[in-house]
Structure 1
Amino acid sequence: MPTTTMTDMTGEAIAASPNLAACGWNFIVLMSRQGKIRLSEFFSSYSESDKRRILRDISSDILPRAPKMCNIIEKGTYKFVYRRYASLYFVVGVPEGMNELIVLEQIHLFVEALDGYFNSVCELDLVFSLHKSLLILFEMFIGGMLCESNKREVLKAIVEAEELVEEMTKPGEDTASQLDDGLSFHEQFQLGRAPGRRTNQPGHGRR
């Protein structure tokens, strides 16, 4: 199977291999240069204190690093693998022994999918459309494992979900509101709907 070459914002080329699904993520964090968390998702079980410690470590260990420094940081039983795109750091935590090059490829695939959906993604897209970014993430990764590496298939699934939402809301917003009340957090993401959004229709508000 032929390999392809991808390039990040620094101009460094990454060779894409066919074994992209061989690596499982513990977590992914998107952090701005100012230390603002724009997205975080933990695929493994962590206590709240451990999550806070990981976020502090990302801020203190990665943000001050020079651009030419190694983008792999050993943290004992796991390691940070990161890559910077414009003003955002994409940081993935993986178990010790995982292939870092595969992780870098997976990060780039995720960025390409975001670019494809947002037409050149920027930090503001993540701020105002976080649920869409998570929808793309969940479409590509299940339990931290890469399940769909084809960007076109990912975007096609998201467009189909959005069209479904539009069809559901056409007859009357009250129907969509009732469905919102019965959907779980993850199911609302799968439908491309911002969690917690309800349509204020007469007779369907909080009593």
Structure 2
Amino acid sequence: MIKFVLIVNKQGQTRLSRYYEQQDIQKRTLLESEVIKLCLSRSKDQCSFIEYKDFKLVYRQYAALFIVVGIDEFANEMAVFELIHNFVEVLDKYFSRVSELDIMFNLDKVHIILDEMVLNGCAVETNKTRILAPLLVLDKVGSS
């Protein structure tokens, strides 16, 4: 099960955070700073799976952005690793080469995409066309 999803830049600034378990704001802040520090300090040669406290971290780097997913110890790391890549492919398809600015200025749309893919910490959809369908409908309604 997925505990949280973070999108972070190389400077350690959180661009998106989504939690699937209730945590107070102080714990979130501390967790994010530790997780970000841990992921940013690793070299490209190191494994993208990290055991951290009572869960595991799976991360991928795309240009200047890191996407970090916290999962419980029973979740499949490779499946989550591929889910991250699928998420980025969907963002690329919607934004046509997604960038950090696209995420910052369209945070609501990025959350919609993530919500279509993950529900209550479980991956529920991987088909890019189905994931983007509600967002494209909203775009049509907004433009008319």
Q: Which has the higher helix share?
A: 2
Q: How large is the RMSD of aligned CA atoms in angstroms?
A: 1.2
Q: 2:87 matched to 1:110?
A: yes
Question: What is the Cα deviation at residue 76 of structure 1?
Answer: 2.5
Tell me what 1:37 maps to. 14
Mark the structure with the bigger radius of gyration: 1
Q: 2:18 matched to 1:78?
A: no
Q: 2:126 matched to 1:149?
A: yes
Distance 1:158 1:55 in 2: 28
Q: Which has the higher strand share?
A: 2
SS of the aligned residue for 1:107 comes to helix
Distance 1:76 1:59 in 2: 14
SS of the aligned residue for 2:47 comes to coil
Is the Cα contact below 8 Å between 2:10 and 2:66 reproduced in 1? yes
The unaligned stretches of length 5 or more in structure 1 are: 1-23, 168-207
Calculate the TM-score normalised by the size of structure 2.
0.94
What number of residue pairs does the alignment pair up? 144
Question: What is the Cα deviation at residue 55 of structure 1?
Answer: 0.6
Tell me what 1:58 maps to. 35
Distance 1:95 1:139 in 2: 21
Distance 1:75 1:49 in 2: 18
Distance 2:105 2:26 in 1: 27
Which gives a bigger RCO, structure 1 or 2 (Cα 8 Å, sep 6+)?
2
Distance 1:59 1:154 in 2: 28
Calculate the TM-score normalised by the size of structure 1.
0.67
Tell me what 1:28 maps to. 5
Give 2:108's aligned amino acid.
H
Identity %: 35
Provide, for residues 129-179 of structure 1, a one-character-per-residue CA deviation record: whole Å limited to 9, x for no partner: 111111111121111211111001111221012223344xxxxxxxxxxxx
Tell me what 2:45 maps to. 68
Over 6 Å off, 4+ runs: none
Distance 2:134 2:24 in 1: 33
